[in-house]
Amino acid sequence: MSDGEPGRSSFVLVARKGGFGLPTSCPSCLPVYLYLRFANTAFDLLYDVTNPDSDHVPYFEYGYYVAFNNEKGGVIETLKQEGIVDLDPKSSSSYFPEWLSTKALINSWLAEALDYELWVASDRNIVHKIYFSELPWLLAKILYEKQSQTVKRRLGITTLNASEREEEVSVISLCNQPLHLQIYRNATLAYEALSLRLGNQTFFFDDGPTSADALFLGHALFALHALPIMSSGVSLAWLLPTSFATSTIPNVHVVTMI
């Protein structure tokens, strides 16, 4: 099941294999990895290469219990509920509303943009390296098409509006824009809002890292390391550095501890 070498920790994070200079190249696994590192939690990192299309990866093993990605709101939420690792503010905290809105922004507009770029806009090479490199070619092709269609349906992409993304784009208009431009415009607005929130700080909130930091850092590292810059110039790998002040991008890298 796993490629990693188990150590002495009682905690085990099972993720998809590393790549692109990242400990795990899976955009769902990387935030969980970073969350545990932020918490200074000792754990073994193992790689699951037998379930490339399964939505239960990543998962976290502790004792006889396993927290799956597709249960109870995901691994991070389960870790909080079980009292294993909880970096997030309580509802009584003064910055709880801002933390909640920050996390929602990352989980909505940025998650949609990443899914679009990974499964619709990019070629299959990146997806193949992350999910399907251990599988026969035909099976990998079938699984890719299945997931790509699932993402398209979730984003409301049809044959008609998917063809519109072939147009060359230099300016993102505010109205009557193709669906893919709306996705990128939402991502741009999200980056700008998060840049203002972060400022010159290392973390979004003064008390230290939270799951919002892990989610955004995972997104940012994946976008910068794994996603290509499109020929049109509109892509997450292009929007992210230009939306953030140059002083904040080094902070993103300094706290990775990868």
Looking at beta carbons, which pairs linking 136-140 to residues 24 or more positions away fall under 8 Å?
140/52
Pairing of strands 11-15, 44-47: parallel
Task: Residue 176: count other Cβ atoms within 10 Å of its Cβ.
Answer: 6
Q: Are 232 and 178 in contact (CB under 8 A)?
A: no
Give the C-alpha separation, 218 to 202, whole Å: 15
pTM for the structure as a whole: 0.86
Domains and CATH numbers, the chain: 11-81 (3.40.30), 96-254 (1.20.1050)
Angle (CA) 185-115-40 rounded to 5° is: 105
CA 253 to chain centre: 15
Q: Using CA atoms, how far apart are residues 232 and 62, in angstroms rounded to an integer?
A: 46
- Quick one: which of 83, 72, 93, 67 has its CA closest to 15? 67
Element housing 12 (H / E): strand 11-15
Query: From first to last of its 258 residues, what are the pLDDT tens digits of the chain?
Result: 444 444 556 899 999 999 999 999 999 999 999 999 999 999 999 999 888 778 899 999 998 889 999 998 999 999 999 999 999 999 999 999 999 999 999 999 999 999 999 999 888 899 999 999 888 999 999 999 999 999 999 998 876 544 454 443 333 333 455 787 899 999 999 999 999 999 888 899 977 999 999 999 999 999 999 987 765 556 888 888 777 755 455 455 444 455
